Chain A
Amino acid sequence: EVQLVESGGGLVKPGGSLRLSCEDSGFSFSSYSMNWVRQAPGKGLEWVSYISSSSIYIYYADSVKGRFTISRDNARNSVSLQMNSLRAEDTAVYYCARGKGYYDSSGFHEDCFDLWGQGTLVTVSS
């Protein structure tokens, strides 16, 4: 079965760091873009970060820029999110999500997130 499995969540104090990982099983990981999306308790979805299949293109939400770093290791079929200087407002379930899309003359266009992990809870509290 094709799936994504996140790990690394937990309780951390404000100002602390945490590293989330997401590993695939059963698909050509290196062919896909990957994203992190979070959801604070009782709230909606917030996109956090994107990394292209070859790591050439990386984007962040303004709310995490300068504090979070996304990376991937295609040899290990994994994507990571290094989270530093954590704040209470970073408390959320973090999902990794595979980007599905297509190539045309102007490059790659992501058209949806077609596979999601089960989520890992990050709690930032003293």
Chain B
Amino acid sequence: DIQLTQSPSFLSASVGDRVTITCRASQGISSYLAWYQQKPGKAPKVLIFEASTLQSGVPSRFSGSGSGTEFTLTISSLQPEDFATYYCQQLNSYPRTFGPGTKVDVK
């Protein structure tokens, strides 16, 4: 199975900050990686797929990059509605796996 790790696990930031989250895969997954945002009590929402493609309707302050085993999600200027937990997911093979999550909290 492909394992995903995320760093950091927890991040304190302020509105307007640039935020970067890293996701590493235990083996190469090409660009088959998606990023999700989840707020408490809500279902996850896809932000990025194929490592760098912005899902329709997602603000352009979100961007993704990487391929192979290392990926990043960047929020260029954190907004109040962006405080949430972020998960990466690999879609290269089964079983599908998610990273453990990165919680972005208010500094």
Contact = CB atoms under 8 A, between A and B. Distances in A.
Interface of A: 35, 37, 44-47, 50, 59-62, 95, 100, 109-114, 116-119
B19 to A, nearest CB: 19
A52 B32 CA distance: 18
The B interface is mostly helix, strand or loop, or mixed, namely loop
Contacts of A114: 46, 49, 55
A17 to B, nearest CB: 23
Given A44-B98, A45-B36, A112-B49, 4 more contacts: A50-B94, A60-B95, A100-B49, A109-B91
23 contacts: A35-B96, A37-B44, A44-B98, A44-B99, A45-B38, A45-B87, A45-B89, A46-B98, A47-B89, A47-B95, A47-B96, A50-B94, A50-B96, A59-B95, A60-B95, A111-B50, A111-B91, A113-B36, A113-B44, A114-B49, A116-B43, A118-B43, A119-B43
Nearest to A35: B96
Interface residues of B, number: 24
Given A114-B55, A117-B43, A119-B43, A47 B97 contact: yes
Contacts of A35: 96
A47 B48 CA distance: 18
Contacts of A61: 95
B101 A44 contact: yes
B21 interface: no
